Amino acid sequence: MTHDLTWGWFFACLLALALQTGVLVLAAPWFSGWVNRLTGRLTGERRFPAGGRWQDSHHQFRRQGLRLRGDGLSGLACRGALILAVFAACMTPVFTLVPAGFPAPGFFLLCAALVGASLLLGLPLVVQGGTATLAGYTALLADALLLPALVPVLVMAGGQDFSVFLAHLRLLSPAGEGAPFVLMGVALFLVTAWKGRLAGEDLQGQLSGADRALWMLAADCVQLVWITLAGDVAWAGSLALPGDGGAEPWLAQCLAGGAFWVAKLSVAALLLAGTHLMVLTYQRRARVRLAAVFLLGLLAWQVAYAGQSGPQTGNKTASMQDEQESAWRDDGATP
């Protein structure tokens, strides 16, 4: 780990962050379309190819919008949601972490940005009225309650920088000591699992034109960012950590991290398509999602807490030393 952040690393990290953000935002519609197609494949329907979502967004963006009641507000909400989503995407490590001295956000800020984006995405439904209003209110309520439901997960990450947290997790193998964090990743994954989409039907209401495109892009971004977060937490070992050796190993790690990211996304797409097979009403979906996130997070926290004295993973080495010492003491006592 670097102790002094050189300017070269600084700029490299900035570049990597920009690249990550761009990749996330550009890949989001693809991922969403791919999940949609997989769901269709699983249910035996024919859906658009994976690129269709992206083309749809593109096409909607160029279309002239119909002016409806409350469109100004919903347009604003869509823009705000997209900004928040991109902001969250820029904070999410896709294939590399940032070195220690680099300003990195906490996990709470990340979650709050994502939840805020989801709230803004639910706003147009409520503003426009009509049949979708009830669903919109439900979505708003569910998203508002998401942050309390995430409390165990937030406690696990603690108040430290997210990048530092992941750098600690990086040392743990997910098949061994890091297994509780796989559970945490599953909890994070479930945040998106029963999101407002029911097998091809969107909750986007009656938006039109560019607003609709922005809405779709923002929704896809939020989904992909949650998934990426879950993947990062579940297996932090795939992320590159700058400053370990030189620039070359870092770049190689970045490439590998990108490949691993794609692999994680494909697994997540399969799982997401599987969850879409479950047909639930939207109220029930919201309840199932919140309860699953909260309870799984709680379980993960407990499992992690039993071994590693909770969120303070910083003194992990100390506790390991304690363990070793106690083991030696046991050894000394038994013969």
Enumerate residues 97-156 that contact another protein by CB under 8 A. none
DSSP 51-87: THHHHHHHHHHHSPPPP-TTHHHHHHHHHHHHHHHHH
Is 89 exposed, middle or buried, given 0-12, 13-18 or 19+ CB atoms closer than 10 A?
buried
Among the listed residues 3, 64, 175, 246, the single contact to another protein using CB under 8 A: 175
For residue 167, what are the contacts with CB-CB under 8 A and spacing of at least 6? 1, 97, 100, 236, 241
- List the one residue out of 220, 119, 112 whose CA is nearest residue 162: 112
Q: How far is the CB of 273 from another protein (least distance, A)?
A: 13
**Which of these, 22, 23, 211, 228, lies nearest to 120 by C-alpha position?**
211
**Residue range at the interface with another protein (CB under 8 A); choices 71-79, 116-124, 140-148, 274-282:** 274-282
Radius of gyration of the chain measured on its C-alpha atoms: 21
**Of the ranges 84-92, 159-167, 249-257, 281-289, which one interacts with another protein (CB under 8 A)?**
281-289
193: exposed, middle or buried (C-beta count within 10 Å: 0-12, 13-18, 19+)? buried
CA-CA distance, 317 to 325, in Å (whole number)?
Answer: 12
Q: How far is the CB of 43 from another protein (least distance, A)?
A: 5
- Residue 295 makes contact with another protein by CB under 8 A: yes
Residue from 75, 106, 174, 242 binding another protein (CB under 8 A): 174
- State the amino acid at position 220 in one-letter form: D
Considering only 7-15, 70-78, 205-213, 273-281, which stretch makes contact with another protein by CB under 8 A? 273-281
CA dihedral over 267, 37, 218, 152, signed as positive or negative: negative
| Span interacting with another protein, options 125-133, 140-148, 207-215, 283-291, rule CB under 8 A | 283-291
- Say how many residues make up the chain: 335
State how far Cα 259 lies from the chain centre.
Answer: 17
- In the list 49, 266, 322, 328, the residue contacting another protein (rule: CB under 8 A) is 322
Task: Out of 83, 145, 299, 316, name the contact with another protein by CB under 8 A.
Answer: 299
- Residue 302 binding another protein, by CB under 8 A: yes
Q: Using the minimum distance from each CB to another protein, give the nearer residue, 45 or 244.
A: 45
Residue 168: beta bridge partners? none
Q: Which is nearer to another protein, 244 or 322 (CB)?
A: 322
Q: Which of residues 30-69 bind another protein (CB under 8 A)?
A: 43-45
Beta carbon of residue 284, minimum distance to another protein (angstroms, whole number): 6
Q: With CB under 8 A, what is the number of residues at the site for another protein?
A: 36
Q: Which residues bind another protein (CB under 8 A)?
A: 43-45, 174-177, 179-180, 182-183, 186, 277-281, 284, 288, 291-292, 295-296, 298-299, 302-308, 319, 322-323, 326
